[in-house]
């Protein structure tokens, strides 16, 4: 009778151990994690860092993309830009890569506005530089922009006080300057600077106007610039005879394609170009630039996310090594379970669930940290005046959680299988 009771008790114990459900496995895994806090944290660390890096890169990449797109959208959909250098139909212009190309001239811009196309409302040419502006004993390093009298119309901005330079002042290389609102504030404070002279590159300029505050547009703080006639900037400040780029304003976005064809025809005639394949310029509308930038930034975001995912793989190997050590430490426990009838699948499932639980918890911590860092980055960027959106999507969080679980399942299978293959007799004798 006693032997029968012992056999029944052993069978009940075996059935209890063998019928351990998934929830109980997870509960046991949590108990083991709490019992070995330091080792559990070190096990999760690789997953935490990997998931955090992926979330931050995806979020910051989306925020940077929103900044670029918002900047382009702020310029309007009825602007057409001209850059020097040929480019592929969908590729960026050569000038974007920092290569100096001198094929566009001031006269090209005038030819576009003096033609017979009724939809062109204005064209502005640009050259830019950086130098020290001197007023008495005050010095300020800032940007200067050489442009045309049509700049306020093309860029949809206005003068706060004084006036912008005229076409006559533009053609005569007048030494006049219009200050951005930030420059005026830093140089003169509350004083009215109209009529005061400033020095740029040993050349004196008379201040004739102050622009109204505009903020960041086109990746540039428009209030931290000094505007001078483009001819003056070319000859007196930079010593060049070409322009960096041009912008043409169209009366309606519906006529952008017609204006682009007209501009290409005018520029080919001026540059003695017989076929489009020989173009030494690139004409793009705002929408085309938007599409090109979206494709480039998307590719860059996913490339960086793929690089960050390497940390997840490294974390997976770390988890596998630590779980192999855990199998060694729990040899007697495994032997006991197998001695009372546990199957290979039961042991495998137990260790696999433990590994997945560890990686899932690490993934959740990584998501929380990544979201917090992304929030801080977005707030800092917004505080600096940039149109930066905080982008953390539910699908990206689900994907990060799924990846952490997958890492646990992939790298946990080897320790789990090793545990299931232990001989119960040798396991029970293990010290």
Q: Are residues 38 and 151 in the same domain?
A: no
Assess if residue 76 is contained within a domain.
Answer: no
Q: Are residues 313 and 252 in the same domain?
A: no
From the centroid of its chain, how far is CA 387? 12
> Among residues 272, 431, 426, 339, which one has the least CA distance to residue 17?
339
Assess if residue 425 is contained within a domain.
Answer: yes
Q: Are residues 252 and 319 in the same domain?
A: no
Assess if residue 172 is contained within a domain.
Answer: yes
Q: Are residues 377 and 255 in the same domain?
A: no
Alpha helices in 197-279 (DSSP H): 230-232, 256-270
Assess if residue 16 is contained within a domain.
Answer: no
Both tokens of 46, joined, read 């690789």
Query: Which helix (H) or strand (E) is 165 found in, with range?
Result: none
Give dist(CA 30, CA 28) in Å, integer.
5
Q: Are residues 373 and 252 in the same domain?
A: no
CB atoms within 10 A of CB 318: 17
Assess if residue 75 is contained within a domain.
Answer: no
**248 and 217 in contact (C-beta within 8 Å)?**
no
Q: Are residues 423 and 363 in the same domain?
A: yes
Give dist(CA 133, CA 226) in Å, integer.
9
**229 and 153 in contact (C-beta within 8 Å)?**
no
* pLDDT in single tens digits along all 431 residues of the chain: 344 344 444 444 444 444 445 566 667 667 767 777 777 777 778 778 878 887 887 788 777 777 766 666 555 557 888 888 887 665 556 655 566 788 899 999 888 888 778 888 888 999 999 998 999 888 888 899 999 999 998 888 889 999 999 999 999 999 999 999 999 999 998 889 999 999 998 899 999 999 998 876 655 677 889 999 999 999 999 999 999 999 998 888 778 888 889 999 999 999 999 888 888 888 887 766 666 666 667 777 777 777 767 767 777 777 777 766 666 666 666 666 666 666 767 677 777 777 777 788 888 888 889 889 888 888 887 777 677 777 777 776 777 777 777 777 776 676 666 666 656 555 455 55
- Burial (CB < 10 A; 0-12, 13-18, 19+), residue 339, is middle
Q: Are residues 133 and 208 in the same domain?
A: yes
pLDDT at 389: 76
pLDDT at 151: 92
**120 and 249 in contact (C-beta within 8 Å)?**
yes
Largest Cα span, the chain: 119
Give dist(CA 281, CA 242) in Å, integer.
13
Q: Are residues 112 and 27 in the same domain?
A: no
pLDDT at 168: 93
Q: Are residues 111 and 238 in the same domain?
A: yes
- Burial (CB < 10 A; 0-12, 13-18, 19+), residue 161, is middle
Q: Are residues 402 and 354 in the same domain?
A: yes
Assess if residue 236 is contained within a domain.
Answer: yes
Q: Are residues 403 and 351 in the same domain?
A: yes
Give dist(CA 315, CA 52) in Å, integer.
12
Give the domain-ending residue among 247, 279, 311.
279
**Residue-number span of the structural domain to which 125 is assigned:** 102-279
Give the domain-ending residue among 225, 248, 279.
279
Assess if residue 13 is contained within a domain.
Answer: no
Give dist(CA 62, CA 56) in Å, integer.
10
Total count of domains within the chain: 2
Assess if residue 254 is contained within a domain.
Answer: yes
Q: Are residues 109 and 175 in the same domain?
A: yes
Taking the model in full, what pTM does it have?
Answer: 0.58
Give the domain-ending residue among 279, 312, 340.
279
> Among residues 212, 140, 136, which one has the least CA distance to residue 180?
212
């Amino acid at each position: 009778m006693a032997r029968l009771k012992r056999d029944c008790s052993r069978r009940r114990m075996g059935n209890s151990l063998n019928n351990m459900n998934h929830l109980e496995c997870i509960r046991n895994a949590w108990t083991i994690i709490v019992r070995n806090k330091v080792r559990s944290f070190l096990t999760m660390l690789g997953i935490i860092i990997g998931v955090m890096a992926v979330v931050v890169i995806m979020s910051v990449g989306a925020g940077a993309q929103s900044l670029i797109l918002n900047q382009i959208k702020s310029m309007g959909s009825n602007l057409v830009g001209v850059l020097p250098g040929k480019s592929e139909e969908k590729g960026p212009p050569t000038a974007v890569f920092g290569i100096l190309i001198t094929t566009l001239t001031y006269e090209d811009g005038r030819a576009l506005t003096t033609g017979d196309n009724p939809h062109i409302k204005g064209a502005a040419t640009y050259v830019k530089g950086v130098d020290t502006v001197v007023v008495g004993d005050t010095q300020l390093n800032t940007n200067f922009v050489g442009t045309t009298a049509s700049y306020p119309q093309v860029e949809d901005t206005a003068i706060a006080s004084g006036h912008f330079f005229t076409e006559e002042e533009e053609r005569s290389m007048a030494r006049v300057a219009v200050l951005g609102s930030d420059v005026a504030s830093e140089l003169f404070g509350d004083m009215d600077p109209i009529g005061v002279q400033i020095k740029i590159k040993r050349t004196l300029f008379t201040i004739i106007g102050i622009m109204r505050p505009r903020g960041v547009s086109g990746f540039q703080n428009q209030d931290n610039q000094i505007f001078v006639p483009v001819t003056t900037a070319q000859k007196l400040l930079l010593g060049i005879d070409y322009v960096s780029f041009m912008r043409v304003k169209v009366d309606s976005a519906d006529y952008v394609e017609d204006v682009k064809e007209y501009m290409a025809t005018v520029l080919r005639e001026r540059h003695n170009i017989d076929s489009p394949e020989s173009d030494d310029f690139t004409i793009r509308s705002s929408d085309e630039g938007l599409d090109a930038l979206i494709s480039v930034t998307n590719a860059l975001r996913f490339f960086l996310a793929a690089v960050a995912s390497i940390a997840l793989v490294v974390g997976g190997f770390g988890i596998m090594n630590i779980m192999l050590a855990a199998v060694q430490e729990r040899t007697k426990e495994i032997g006991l379970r197998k001695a009372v009838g546990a199957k290979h699948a039961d042991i495998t499932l137990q260790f696999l669930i433990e590994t997945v639980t560890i990686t899932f918890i690490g993934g959740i911590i990584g998501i929380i940290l990544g979201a917090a860092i992304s929030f801080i980055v977005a707030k800092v960027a917004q505080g600096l005046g940039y149109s930066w959106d905080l982008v953390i999507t539910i699908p990206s969080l689900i994907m990060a959680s799924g990846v952490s679980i997958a890492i646990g399942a992939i790298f946990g299978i080897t320790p789990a299988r090793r545990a299931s293959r232990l001989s119960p007799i040798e396991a029970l004798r293990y010290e």
